[in-house]
Amino acid sequence: MAPKVWLNGELVERERALVSVFDHGLLYGDGVFEGIRSYGGRVFRLEKHVRRLFDSANGIRLTIPLAPQAVGEAVVATLQANGMKDAYIRVVVTRGEGTLGLDPNRCPKPNLFIITDRIELYPRELYENGLEIITASTMRNHPNAVNPRLKSLNYLNNILAKIEAIDAGTLEAVMLNHLGYVAECTGDNLFIVRDGRLFTPPIAAGILEGITRDEILDIARRGNIEIREENLTRQDLYVADECFLTGTAAEVVPVVGIDKRTIGSGKPGPVTKRLAEEFHRRTRG
């Protein structure tokens, strides 16, 4: 069965899922998106993802041409049309076709498309043995320039930091904000464990409010793990007992080294394992 893409109300074959080269999403990164997961044919936290998509669109004054419920229904329809149960789903809304100028008012019709596919950000052994990462020199976007809470198509900031990670022989990089505090990684939120307590940068540090991040915080609260959302420095990462990353595609991946410094015992720690196991139970139970 040829893969199908939902494009402006129609399910079309992948090769026919085309947008104009004059689309402002392509020309200027003018659009928003969401990455969503399904497990066993059930879409995980679909309502939260759709709400964040609309919040991002509202933040850039982009009108999504469907109601939230209709977007959710289109996600499910695309998943079913491709016969996929465990999938990564990408929902994208662009400003649409316009002129070569910046004026968004010259883009009368937004484009909305939905892709379902499989994704594996990290090899399976890294979930068992842990990942080594670096601190990027590329700073996270200043929140007064492009608000990091907007999940926009303009990901150049993250891509530049990702290139640094690849050049260093790693798969991920920590990004600092304009004040020098830890923000997040190029595609994932970050947590550390110190003396049994869970720490993560606050939203005000210039991070995306991740759906998986929120899920881990909920699991920790229900498990009576003390949570601290506060500014973190690189030194806080270096002296942590445990560290892990969270994201829709990554799920929960342990970190065992940062900038050539070993984190804790150099192996995934007990709190990380406990949270990852409960997340696995929630998504696949």
pLDDT tens-digit map of 86-109: 999 999 999 999 999 999 999 999
pLDDT value of residue 284: 87
pLDDT value of residue 119: 83
pLDDT value of residue 265: 96
pLDDT value of residue 120: 82
Position 1 pLDDT exceeds 90: no
Catalytic residue among 151, 162, 267, 273: 151
pLDDT value of residue 26: 96
Tokens for 241, please give them.
């007992």
pLDDT value of residue 285: 72
**Chain segment 118-133, per-residue pLDDT in tens:** 888 889 999 999 999 9
| Residue 53 backbone class (left: φ over 0; alpha: ψ -120 to 50; beta: rest) | alpha
Position 249 pLDDT exceeds 80: yes
| Mean pLDDT across 153-161 | 96
Confidence of residue 34 (pLDDT cuts 50, 70, 90): very high
Element (H, E) at 10: strand 10-13
pLDDT value of residue 19: 96
**Chain segment 51-85, per-residue pLDDT in tens:** 999 999 999 999 999 999 999 999 999 999 999 99
Kindly report the average pLDDT of the chain as a whole number.
Answer: 96
Which of helix, strand or coil describes residue 66?
Answer: coil
pLDDT value of residue 146: 87
Domains and CATH numbers, the chain: 4-117 (3.30.470.10), 124-284 (3.20.10.10)
Active site residue 267: no
CA angle 277/166/244 to nearest 5° reads 20
| Mean pLDDT across 19-46 | 96
Confidence of residue 215 (pLDDT cuts 50, 70, 90): very high
